[in-house]
């Protein structure tokens, strides 16, 4: 696959699903010049900069063969700073929201061959599939985040309709807000239990479990607050 000139670390991205208090982007948001460049060269999947790319896929339930697809993100990590960039691949502005896409959350091959993934000139190392229960678990472990509806420790606290029923623009905003809300609390030692609590019923990945846990432990031990940025679909 092609290479993206920026950053990301494979196993973290599950964690960075969720990011701390940032303004939710709308579908009319113009992607700024700061967005990672989707380069057109043939560099290896892990460039000399150490950049790591992963796919983050959000569904309503992992423990089913007919899950509703709610979001697809390319997550790019800068290994020198643990900064993460989330680029939305689905839903897109072209989606009408009139019908759901059903997927098998544990069929990695099919997930990575969805049209809006293959249409992009991108590469990734691992795929992480999480559901709403996993997101809520992480919100609880990080202590939640402040929102106009109060302290959010569960998606339902935001007084929004279920993600699977939201139109594309609202779904993008909700997912961005929730993931932002987790970012600042991700280094909380409590989050180390996230994988144990959610894998494999609410979290599925092609990454090795031991590597994922080890990488997460190094991030928590690192201390600095994780910075996350979000970019809407082109």
**Res. 30 pLDDT band, cuts 50 70 90:** very low
pLDDT tens by residue, 73-124? 999 988 777 788 999 898 876 665 557 889 999 999 999 999 889 988 899 9
Domain region containing 142: 4-231
3-state secondary structure of 96: coil
Is the pLDDT at 72 greater than 90? The verdict is yes
Instruction: Specify the pTM.
Output: 0.76
- Strand segments (E) across 25-169: 37-38, 52-59, 67-78, 83-90, 102-103, 126-131, 145-147, 150-152
The position carrying tokens 């030692």 is 189
Token pair in block for residue 193: 């239990």
CB atoms closer than 10 angstroms to residue 55: 25
Q: How many domains, the chain?
A: 1
H-helix or E-strand containing 229?
A: strand 228-231
Q: Can you give the CATH number for the domain in which 200 is found?
A: 3.40.630.190
Query: For 196-223, what is the mean pLDDT?
Result: 83
Q: Within the chain, what is the greatest distance between any pair of CA atoms? A: 47
CA distance 17 to 175: 9
pLDDT tens by residue, 145-203? 877 777 888 888 877 777 767 777 777 788 888 888 777 777 777 787 888 888 888 99
User: Taking a C-beta distance cutoff of 8 angstroms, is the pair 38, 121 a contact?
Assistant: yes
């Amino acid at each position: 696959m092609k290479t993206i000139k920026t950053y990301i670390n494979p196993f973290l991205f599950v964690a960075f699903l969720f990011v701390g208090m940032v303004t939710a982007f709308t579908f009319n948001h113009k992607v700024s010049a700061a967005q990672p460049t989707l380069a057109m060269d043939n560099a290896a999947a892990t460039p000399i900069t150490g950049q790591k790319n992963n796919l983050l896929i959000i569904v309503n339930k992992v423990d089913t063969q007919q899950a509703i697809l709610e979001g697809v993100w390319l997550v790019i990590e800068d290994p020198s700073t643990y900064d993460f960039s989330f680029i939305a691949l689905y839903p897109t502005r072209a989606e009408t929201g009139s019908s759901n896409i059903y997927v098998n959350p544990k069929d990695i091959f099919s997930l990575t061959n969805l049209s809006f993934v293959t249409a992009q000139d991108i590469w990734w190392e691992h795929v992480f599939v999480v559901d709403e229960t996993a997101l809520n678990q992480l919100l609880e472990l990080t202590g939640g985040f402040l929102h106009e509806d109060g302290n959010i420790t569960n998606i339902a606290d935001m007084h929004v309709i279920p993600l699977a029923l939201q139109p594309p623009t609202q779904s993008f905003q909700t997912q961005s807000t929730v993931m932002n809300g987790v970012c600042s609390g991700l280094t909380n030692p409590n989050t180390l239990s996230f994988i144990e609590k959610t894998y494999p019923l609410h979290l599925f990945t092609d990454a090795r479990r031991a590597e994922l846990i080890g990488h997460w432990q190094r991030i928590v031990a690192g201390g600095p607050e994780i910075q996350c940025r979000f970019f809407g679909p082109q």
